[in-house]
Amino acid sequence: EVGGTGVAFDAVESLCRQWACELGPLGIRVVWLQTTGIPEALHDPGGVQPAYGTSHPMTTGEFVAWMRDKTMLRRLTTLADLGDMAALIASDRAAAMTAAGMNITCGAVPTR
């Protein structure tokens, strides 16, 4: 529903895994965060959001509800969630983690 976004995300993951292979011997970890859309990060100048496969443009409120309804937890990732997970990944508590993504999508599953 969102065009080539899935392909782009897969390419980013592949690139991160390659970096982990190259940088691991230097003691550098590579970990990425996979999130949902984050409503607090949306800039809403009062316009409409793209259709994203729904066949009609959406208001920001409709867009947020559409994203939220695609998650198992029926909520979206917040900036606080993102910050908490980034802090965890950067900490010694995740020292063994590399070449991996942290899924903080609230259970979002891409559909057609």
**Per-residue H/E/C for 50-62:** CCCCCCCCECHHH
Residue written as token pair 């691991």: 24
For residue 33, tell me if it sits in a domain.
yes
pLDDT at 50: 77
DSSP element (H, E) containing 9: helix 5-23
For residue 112, tell me if it sits in a domain.
no
Model confidence over 35-78: pLDDT tens digits?
A: 998 999 887 767 788 777 778 888 888 989 999 999 999 999 99
Model confidence over 73-104: pLDDT tens digits?
A: 999 999 999 999 999 999 999 999 999 999 99
Q: How many domains does the chain have?
A: 1
For residue 13, tell me if it sits in a domain.
yes
CATH classification at residue 78: 3.40.50.720
Query: Are the C-beta atoms of residues 1 and 53 closer than 8 Å to each other?
Result: yes
pLDDT (average), residues 20-27: 98
Residue written as token pair 């959001």: 49
What is the domain extent for residue 99? 5-104
Two tokens, residue 25: 């011997």
